[in-house]
């Protein structure tokens, strides 16, 4: 297990007590939340600008919807992401650019345009993606997806111990990445909420997130408006799941997660800052009460 230390991505250093926000910018027509609102170049760039202004350290650009939907081959995914990565790199030299992809050929194309991080949400289904991260000296997110094929939903999945399985799998991916040449301080692990899991599994992964943090690898959580939040609260529409997401965010931060992939940057920033202030890591921005 690695010794816990800073996460280095592009020009950004994310220390153990820091909480970084990864803003979601989907270049898709059919995302589960707000559909194709950032499909066009102009809308996507406006979303990047708004996210950075609201406090996001990382922008995660995706060209394929996570769930079932229209077929998007590698060429189309590259068309949706690579050139746009170059545009974001030129406009925001210091922001960390992440690309949500499981395909090595897409990873290569976006790294050539300036991506800093490859977010492999499907758990190494293309083993060559880690080789691309090593070649370009960029970061890699190692996710547990329960062995699911990309864009499929879980069906009656079972685990003897879901967190033990998550830790074993993600740490295995992380160790392989380092063996291939990815710098250890560029590797992140992700429990993969909802990916290859039912709601009970995702809730247990949240309760036991400190066990994942204890491995020494920095932990990313992707919680935003997901089905496990909706099922927990009886909310079918993703539009209604912000409060549940923020509650889960605060708990995950308390357990030590270091990066949060979100749709709602400003609300998440306040939630994380409040948790960090309660934890004593940050000081109150204003201290007048009882002193005047």
CATH number at residue 197: 3.20.20.20
Domain for residue 4, yes or no? no
Domain that holds residue 36: 18-278
Q: Which long-range contacts (CB under 8 A, 24 or more apart) does 162-170 make?
A: 162/197, 162/201, 162/204, 162/205, 163/191, 163/204, 163/205, 163/208, 163/211, 163/212, 166/191, 166/192, 166/205, 166/212, 167/211, 167/212, 167/215, 169/123, 169/144, 170/142, 170/143, 170/144, 170/212, 170/217
Longest dimension (CA), the chain: 63
Domain for residue 123, yes or no? yes
Domain for residue 193, yes or no? yes
- Give dist(CA 143, CA 2) in Å, integer: 17
What is the pLDDT at residue 192? 98
Query: Which ranges of the chain does DSSP label H, i.e. alpha helix?
Result: 41-54, 74-91, 104-112, 128-136, 162-180, 199-207, 209-213, 227-233, 242-255, 265-278
Domain for residue 12, yes or no? no
pLDDT, mean of each 10-residue run, the chain (292 residues): 93 97 92 76 95 97 91 96 98 97 98 98 97 98 95 94 98 98 98 98 98 98 98 97 98 98 98 98 93 78
CA distances from 259 to 83, 233, 251, 286 (A): 25, 24, 13, 26
What is the pLDDT at residue 261? 98
Positive or negative torsion for Cα 192, 205, 218, 242: positive
Q: What is the DSSP letter of 13?
A: E
What is the pLDDT at residue 2? 87
What is the pLDDT at residue 35? 67
What is the pLDDT at residue 198? 97
Domain for residue 270, yes or no? yes
Considering the entire predicted model, what is its pTM?
0.96
Domain for residue 10, yes or no? no
Domain for residue 288, yes or no? no
Specify the pairing of strand 7-9 against strand 12-14.
antiparallel
Q: What is the DSSP letter of 50?
A: H
- Number of other CB atoms surrounding residue 173 within 10 Å: 23
Total number of domains constituting the chain: 1
H or E stretch covering 21: strand 20-26
Domain for residue 13, yes or no? no
């Amino acid at each position: 297990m690695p010794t816990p230390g800073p996460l280095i991505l592009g020009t950004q250093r994310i220390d153990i007590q820091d909480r970084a926000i990864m803003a979601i910018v989907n270049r898709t027509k059919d995302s589960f939340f707000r559909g194709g609102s950032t499909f066009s170049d102009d809308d996507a760039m406006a979303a990047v600008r708004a996210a950075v202004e609201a406090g996001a350290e990382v922008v995660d650009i995706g060209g394929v919807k996570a769930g079932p939907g229209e077929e998007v081959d590698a060429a189309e995914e590259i068309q949706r992401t690579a050139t746009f990565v170059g545009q974001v790199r030129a406009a925001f030299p210091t922001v960390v650019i992440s690309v949500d992809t499981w395909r090595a050929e897409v990873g290569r194309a976006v790294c050539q345009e300036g991506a800093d991080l490859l977010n492999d949400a499907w758990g190494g289904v293309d083993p060559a993606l880690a080789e691309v991260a090593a070649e370009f000296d960029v970061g890699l997110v190692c996710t547990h997806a329960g062995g699911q094929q990309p864009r499929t939903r879980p069906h009656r999945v079972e685990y003897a111990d879901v967190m033990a399985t998550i830790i074993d799998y993600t740490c295995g991916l992380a160790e392989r990445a380092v063996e291939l040449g990815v710098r250890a301080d560029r590797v992140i692990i992700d429990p993969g909420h909802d990916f290859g899991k039912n709601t009970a599994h995702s809730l247990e992964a949240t309760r036991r997130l400190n066990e994942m943090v204890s491995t020494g690898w920095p932990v990313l959580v992707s919680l935003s408006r997901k089905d496990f939040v909706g099922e927990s609260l009886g909310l079918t529409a993703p539009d209604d799941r912000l409060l549940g997401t923020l509650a889960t965010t605060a708990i995950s931060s308390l357990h030590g997660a270091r990066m949060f992939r979100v749709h709602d940057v400003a609300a998440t920033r306040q939630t994380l800052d409040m948790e960090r202030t309660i934890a004593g890591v940050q000081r109150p921005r204003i201290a007048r009460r009882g002193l005047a």
